[in-house]
A and B are shown apart, each in its own frame.
Chain A
Amino acid sequence: MNDPNELSLAERRAFEALPRERPPRSELEDRVVVALQRRGLLPIPLARSAAGAPRRLTPWLVGALAASLALFVGGFAMGQYVGSRSGAAAALSGVQASRGDVAEVAAHAERAGVIYVAALTALSRLSDTADAPTRATARQAAITALGAAASEVAHLAPDDPLAAAVLRGLNEREQEQRPAPSTRSVVWF
């Protein structure tokens, strides 16, 4: 061997014997897929079983979603119950002012949740007197809020099964309501 820095035969064989492939933990695949979905690089799929076959949402979740949807009916009172825009702005400024204090922000989230449910309860009571377009508008606003909240929970805790199930349910609903397009389009972020 002329160059002492060249690999010896034993060294070369040892390098060649090193494995070129090694499977990571199987959980990583789902983690990567979820990461892509959160970035809009893959669509959020319909609910699926572990084997990949479509399945229905668990009964309790269907019940919860159905109950929520029922509460959304009668949306004309939403604005009346929640209050004025200035009230919302004040609440928002309170949240922004508490940046950096996790406990305070969590308390805001809890209060907002109570108000959200109370508003939906009021909508339910008043739904009989609302016209269909108003009910639809209010229902959509409530669902949008539900989806945005679930999305934030998913950001906060990517492995949270409830947030994922809500997002899948909403995505399924959206796909069912969407008219069949001639070509499939994907939104890229």
Chain B
Amino acid sequence: MKSGVAPDRSDEPDRELAVRVLAGDEPAFRRLYQRHTPRLFQLALRLVGGDTAEAEDVVQDTWIKAAEKLDTFRWESTFGTWLGAIGINVARETARRHGRRREVAWSDEVEPPPAAPLERLEPVDLERAIAALPDGYRTVLILHDVEGYTHEEIAAELGVAAGTTKSQLFWARRAVRALLAPEAKGQIS
């Protein structure tokens, strides 16, 4: 697969680029795209469970929505945070549209078996386990344990109660441990 361009590291502020994008400046848009898409794509790829084509669709739809709303963005957060929030919602819409469910031993409705915290864990195994989670668990786990969101932020983003995200994180961590337990590792596709 042909790899993408390197992220844009020029120092022109996002806000100035955004103003130029609003005036129809395509190079300014490309600079914004190159600066923020690598992070957005990685987030989208995890949220959709590792499907590259689907993640690309999420990235495209996210940029379309961002461009549509750019003139109303108040710059009370960073552009990257705002874009990521749009990406999370687009990824959830995509998952709903596709009605996707992972082939795992349990679903969102069935509790994973208890499993002890792992004392040895490779990132590559963790990535595969995250991809194998049901959508609900995966989203909360990624936002909290990978992206560093608080439960309140996740709850606001997903439109649910903070108690719900805490509960989902509990089960998501247990599910990851169960998937990565030595006797279950071979079951992750």
Which positions in A face B, CB cutoff 8 Å?
A: 1, 4-8, 10-11, 13-15, 17-29, 31-33, 35-36, 39, 41-43, 45, 52, 184, 186
Contacts and interface: CB of A to CB of B under 8 A. Distances in A.
B113 interface: no
Contact of B67 (A1, A29, A36, A45): A36
Interface string B16-28: 0000011110110
A83 B136 CA distance: 61
A8 to B, nearest CB: 4
Interface string B113-124: 000111111110
A22 B34 CA distance: 11
Contact of B30 (A6, A19, A29): A29
B60 A21 contact: no
B150 interface: no
Contacts of A28: 4, 37, 41, 56, 59-60
A186 B68 contact: no
Interface string B100-122: 00000000000000001111111
A7 B29 contact: no
B125 to A, nearest CB: 8
18 contacts: A6-B117, A7-B145, A14-B125, A15-B126, A18-B123, A21-B7, A21-B42, A23-B3, A23-B7, A26-B3, A28-B37, A29-B5, A32-B59, A36-B67, A43-B24, A52-B27, A184-B23, A186-B24
A8 B121 CA distance: 10
Contact of A186 (B23, B45, B125): B23
Q: Which among A5, A18, A24 has the highest number of chain B CB atoms within 10 Å? A: A24
A23 B5 contact: yes
A5 B23 CA distance: 50
Nearest to B33: A29
A137 to B, nearest CB: 29
Main secondary structure of the interface of B (DSSP, over half): helix
B119 A10 contact: yes
Given A4-B117, A28-B4, A184-B23, 12 more contacts: A15-B126, A17-B123, A18-B123, A23-B6, A24-B41, A24-B52, A33-B29, A33-B30, A35-B60, A42-B29, A43-B26, A52-B27
Nearest to A31: B60
A99 to B, nearest CB: 25
B123 A14 contact: yes
Contacts of A14: 118, 121-123, 125-126
B64 interface: yes
Interface of B: 1-7, 21-24, 26-27, 29-30, 33-34, 37-39, 41-42, 45, 52, 55-56, 59-60, 63-64, 67-68, 116-123, 125-127, 145-146, 170, 173-174
Contacts of A36: 29, 63-64, 67
Contacts of B7: 21, 23
Which 8 A-B pairs give the minimum distances between C-beta atoms? A23-B4, A8-B117, A21-B38, A22-B42, A14-B121, A186-B24, A41-B67, A17-B123
Nearest to A37: B26
Contacts of A24: 4, 37-38, 41, 52, 55-56, 59
Contacts of B30: 29, 33
